[in-house]
Amino acid sequence: MGTVQLWPLITPVNPASTWGPLIFIFFVSATKEAWDDYNRYISDKKANEKEVWVVRQGIRKLVRAQNIQVGNILWIQENDELPCDLVLLGTSDPQGVCYIETAALDGETDLKTRIIPPVCMGIDYELLHKIKGVIECPGPDRDIRRFDANLRLFPPFLDNDLCPLTIKNTILQSCYLRNTEWACGVAVYTGNETKLGMCRGIPKPKLTAVDAVIDKLTGAIFVFQIVVVIVLGIAGNVWKDTEARRQWYVHYPMEGPWFELLVIPLRFELLCSIMIPISIKVSLDLVKSLYAKFIDWDYKMIDQETGTPSHAANTAISEDLGQVEYILTDKTGTLTENKMIFRRCCINGIFYGSESGDALKDVELVDAVSSGSADVVRFLTVMAICNTVIPMKSKTGDILYKAQSQDEDALVRAAAQLHLVFFNKNANILEITFHASTIQYEVLETLEFTSDRKKMSVIVKDCQNGRIHLFSKGADEAILPDAYSGQKTRVFVEAVEQYTQLGLRTLCLACRELNEDEYREWSFLFKEASSNLVDREWRIAEVCQMLEHDLEILGVTAIEDRLQDGVPETIETLRKAGINFWMLTGDKQNTAIQIALSCNFISPDPKGQLLSIDGKTEAEVHRSLERVLLTMRITTTEPKDVAFVIDGWALEIALKYYRNAFTELAILTRTAICCRVTPSQKAQLVELLKSCEYRTLAIGDGGNDVRMIQQADIGVGISGREGLQAARAADYSIGKFRFLKRLILVHGRYSYNRTAFLSQYSFYKSLLLCFIQIFFSFISGVSGTSLFNSFSLMAYNVFYTSIPVLVSVLDKDLSEETVMQHPQILFYCQAGRLLNPSTFAGWFGRSLFHAIVVFVISINAYAYEKSEMEEVSMVALSGCIWLQAFVVTWETNSFTILQHIAIWGNLAAFYIINLILSALPSSGMHTIMFRLCRQPSYWTTVFLMVAAGMGPILALKYFRYTYRPSKINILQQAERMGGPILSIASIEPQPRSLEKDVSSLSITQPKNRNPVYEPLLSDSPNTRRSLGSGKPFDLFQSQSRLSPSYSSNCKDN
């Protein structure tokens, strides 16, 4: 466009009027890009320049991380972060074990053990420098759970067979070495070819829904522009041939150049090129980075525990936050704190901690401990030693526990608080103290936990009396059937039921005394099974089962994975805002459902209904899916909160074979729980919802959520306990789940509203000027004369009109409190009510109307002897500036001092700039502004334009505001009048405490342990139970659902 303008024959105005803003825009965007790049460069440099010990020619040297090459031997110290993927060769531990924390990789915070390959066993420290060998490994891939490779060492080391390597022999990039003094290994993958690097993928630039709408509108305006250009071009050529050739003073040559026909259309193209505001890009970039800054700055989104502020890494997509329709959330660490706390227990039929909710504070239990009750002591002993926890003495003398499982950690710590302290583990000797006496146990065997067995056991020998005990703990369904025949397990079943209803994670503890012979006999079998090469796991399980029977059930523990503060309220608020929630977790179905219940994710019967999709085979899944879909279709008319639960296996099948049915289900349901899903399935689900044109937000905290976060329209990472990987990959990182509410309802909503106004306003002001030019062309012989001079055209977009609108980033239509109280108002953003073709048509009409007002008034008021070109141009421009100042004022909901300065200061600046220009003799508008300002008719003309332009708009707005108010208007009125808002607030359901809610639940349905209701069964009246305090269920999106059937439904119950 600019190039065409450089051609003086057709250019209506000075090229600077197009080139000036263009250069300015490029400059601004380029600066921003450069700044981002610089920051990225700094962080890359930091990572690359970290120094690590690398063996070079047999000598250990400090080398920059960027210089590590595949095949280098690296030495890692305790608490170092791995710079690349390693195959372990040696560790400080004589057994060749080391501990790593993989939080950044898969989001699991517990320590994992890694072991050196058997062939490297026993190689001493010095020799490790000289070790030589070959590792055959596959090319880099993204599977962090597999590593199938072979290792062969060269002489003088063992040179027998190939030694197979598995993931157990590796440490991957960005893990941390813990509890191990040093470890050394061979770099196998480096740089971006590590497993982590491959997983990371390249994040695609995200385009917001608002951007898409703006693009469409721009396209529409472009088409309009082309039409205008063609019409005016033809009209211009016709006029030229019929009229202009007769007008001798225009002096048209009889024979023009070949391109003559094109000259007039091209001129109009240039005149109309301002129709698409190029400044919109800069304005949007500026305000978007300000939105992001507001998120960074927000004090209410700072995690008080860690002091981490929220951060918007992607500055371009804040509006999308306001348009979220689906939130896909991880469970552990996102909804919960990932902090296990021992809450209750049932020992030998006695419930502890039922009243206070904390067994450790239960006087009865404390008394029982101090009196040394045998049952309790045995119970505590199992809690303390039936695990794989490693106690460590810290420098201050405290004992730190390193546990692979957070549950075990919680149990051991609880036992310690009840004075049974597990304080040392020395090879196979465990030492515990109880009331100042030390007891030693020798661990004979550990029967490890597998997800199939759902239990683990240890066989220990009491070093004092030599007795051998089997201590077991595990899920109730795994332990209770193994009770000895005489024991009454009913009380434990009840305990488990009760605890599960409370959303606690239960474990049953059991023990059995073994006699020497039995153990020895079994031990032989166990060793045989362990060395088996075929079906080893299965054989071991079988052997273990031989020992784990006739158990004496000691009791049940209940551990709480506490929900983060404010999670239920947040979810309730966001659900009320019309956002659908999906929970995607790697956890078990039951736990997932319990958490879902306790955080308002799904409602208990009868308000809510949970349908289960399960099955191991295609047919089963299909049947289940169809049934759920059927129920779902029926219940859409009911005000019921129907959710479905699906596990990873069924999901795999559903996604593979029944994608359409599943998609339909996904659209129908507002809530879903997917358990046992893999990171890639999480991403697939996001993809599925995105393919249905939904705006998705994925929130998670661990490395396993990274793919989902990157896949979603908006990725939110919780910078929590599972490291920062999710937070780094995400567009936004927040400290706690509850900030999501503020992020969406406050920041997202405001951003959307502001962008909606700003973009449409930008079009409005450009169109306004353009329409005037078009009208003017009709009275200037359709020859493409510009009414406005070059400077005005340039300054109009860049100075006069852009500053007032930029301060609209401070505009708040509703106060934050009101939005929080009425989250339903988010619907306006979700549905795109503030920026769509019809609102745009309103703005288009407004600019047309204003252009007519300005043009008609200026050419009539400045007619005859006053119709001097520069003066008329200035009058029209003044009219535009005044009108736009008033339009911004009209559309602003809250005026801060900055807005006043910007709007009125800008108006003043317009006069100052033009007065200065008028003072310059060389400028085209020399003295024009002085003359105008002295004329009473100038001011009367301008005020007439303002009144005629704004009067109808005010009237219309007032009429709509008062008699056809939108929800936003009503809330605005309510908020600013004081009064009635309080009455609405009282209708709002109060935030419920978890305990209260759950206890009412457990009273009403004590028998109903499994909350997965068979869909068809639950339709029968028998299974429906009233909740007692039935709260009206708020469904905003489903106004249609709030039909009379709702009340009748309630009565039925």
Partner 1 sequence: MAAKGATSSGGAKDGTSDSSSSSKKNSKKPKYSRFTQQELPACKPILTPGWVITTFIVVGIIFIPIGFASLFASEWVVEIVDRYDEDCVPHNYTYNKLAYIQNSETNKTCMKRLIVPKQMKSPVYIYYQLDNFYQNHRRYVKSRSDKQLRSRASERDTSSCKPEAVRGNNYPIVPCGLIAWSLFNDTYGFSVKNKALEVSKKNIAWKSDREHKFGSDVYPKNFQSGGLIGGAKLNASIPLSEQEDLIVWMRTAALPTFRKLYGKIETDLEANDEITVVIQNNYNIYSFGGKKSLVLSTTSWIGGKNDFLGVAYLTVGGLCLFLAISFIFLYVIMPRPLGDPSYLSWNRGQVNIWSKTVRHSFVLMKEIIFGKKAGNHMLAS
User: Quick count: other Cβ atoms within 10 Å of Cβ 273?
Assistant: 19
By CB under 8 A, residue 860 contacts partner 1: yes
The interface region with partner 1, picked from 63-71, 492-500, 585-593, 937-945 by CB under 8 A, is 937-945
Residue 243 binds partner 1, judged by CB under 8 A: yes
The residue type of 248 is W
User: In the complex, what is the shortest distance from the CB of residue 940 to partner 1, in angstroms, rounded to a whole number?
Assistant: 6
- Tell whether residue 293 is a contact of partner 1 (CB under 8 A): yes
Among 952, 989, 1006, 1030, binds partner 1 (CB under 8 A): 952
Q: How far is CA 464 from CA 179, 428, 441, 468, in A?
A: 30, 15, 8, 11
Alpha carbon separation from 540 to 151, 529, 543 (Å, rounded):
27, 5, 5
Phi-psi region of 173 (alpha: psi -120 to 50; beta: other; left: phi over 0): beta
- The answer on whether 330 is annotated among ligand-binding residues is yes
- Does the annotation place 1041 within a ligand binding site? no
Q: Does 39 bind partner 1 (CB under 8 A)?
A: no
Phi-psi region of 61 (alpha: psi -120 to 50; beta: other; left: phi over 0): beta
Q: Between residues 162 and 920, which has the closer beta carbon with respect to partner 1?
A: 920
Q: Which one among 139, 205, 253, 466 touches partner 1, defined by CB under 8 A?
A: 253
Closest to 417 (Cα-Cα) out of 397, 392, 434, 402: 434
Using rule CB under 8 A, residue 249 touches partner 1: yes
429-434 and 420-426: which strand pairing? antiparallel
- Let me know the angle formed at the C-alpha of 964 by 959 and 968, rounded to the nearest 5 degrees: 105
**Applying CB under 8 A, which of residues 39, 43, 530, 894 lies at the interface with partner 1?**
894
Is 705 marked as a binding-site residue?
yes
Q: Does 440 bind partner 1 (CB under 8 A)?
A: no
Total number of residues binding partner 1 (CB under 8 A)? 120
Report DSSP state, residue 34.
H
Has 80 been labeled as part of a binding site?
A: no
> Can you tell me which of 198, 390, 806, 944 binds partner 1, judged by CB under 8 A?
944
298 binds partner 1 (CB under 8 A): yes
Q: Is 619 in the site for partner 1 (CB under 8 A)?
A: no
The count of other CB atoms within 10 Å of the CB of residue 152 is 16
| Per-residue interface string for the shown chain with partner 1, residues 385-424, x marking contact by CB under 8 A | -----------x-x-x------------x-----------
Active site includes 1052?
no
Nearer to partner 1 by Cβ, of 27 and 890: the residue is 890
Question: Annotation-wise, does 329 bind a ligand?
Answer: no
Q: DSSP labels for 758-771?
A: HHHHHHHHHHHHHH
User: Minimum distance between the CB of residue 210 and partner 1, rounded to whole angstroms?
Assistant: 20
- Amino acid identity, residue 611? L
In DSSP notation, 550-606 reads SBEEEEEEEEEEEEPTTHHHHHHHHHHTT-EEEEE-SS-HHHHHHHHHHTTSSPPTT
Q: Which of 330, 561, 605, 811 is catalytic?
A: 330
Longest Cα–Cα distance of the chain, Å, equals 126
Residues 556 to 615 in contact with partner 1, rule: CB under 8 A: none
C-beta closer to partner 1: residue 495 or 810: 810
Calculate the CA dihedral of residues 847, 851, 852, 856 and round it to 10 degrees. Answer: 160
Of 6, 223, 831, 856, the one binding partner 1 (CB under 8 A) is 856
Reduced to 3 states, what is the DSSP secondary structure of residue 152? Answer: strand
118-157 residues near partner 1, rule: CB under 8 A: none
CA dist., res. 440 & res. 463, Å (int): 6
Smallest gap from Cβ 730 to partner 1, in A, equals 18
Identity of the residue, 90 or 784, whose beta carbon is nearer to partner 1 in the bound complex:
784
Name the β-bridge partners of 150.
Answer: 136, 164
- Residues 912-931 touching partner 1, rule: CB under 8 A, are 921, 924, 926-927, 931
Q: How far is the CB of 789 from partner 1 (least distance, A)?
A: 11
Residue 991 CB neighbours (<10 A): 12
Q: Is 255 in the site for partner 1 (CB under 8 A)?
A: no
Q: Which is nearer to partner 1, 58 or 951 (CB)?
A: 951
Q: Any residues with CB less than 8 A from the CB of 176 and at least 6 apart, and which?
A: 79, 80, 81, 82, 100, 101, 103, 104
Euclidean distance between the first and the last CA atom of the chain, given in angstroms as a whole number: 70
Beta strands (DSSP E) in 137-288 are: 149-153, 163-165, 170-171, 176-178, 182-189
Is residue 1006 at the binding interface for partner 1, with CB under 8 A as the rule?
no
Between residue 969 and residue 998, which ones bind partner 1 under the rule CB under 8 A?
970-977, 979-981, 983-984, 987
Of the pair 348, 969, the CB lying nearest partner 1 is at: 969
The CB-of-592 to partner 1 minimum distance in angstroms stands at 22
DSSP assignment letter at 1018: G
Instruction: Compose the 809-828 pattern: x for residues touching partner 1 by CB under 8 A, - for all others.
Output: -x-x---------x-x----
Question: What positions carry a catalytic annotation?
Answer: 330
List binding-site positions. 330-332, 408, 449, 473, 505, 585-587, 676, 682, 701, 704-705
List binding-site positions for ATP. 330-332, 408, 449, 473, 505, 585-587, 676, 682, 704-705
List binding-site positions for Mg(2+). 330, 332, 701, 705
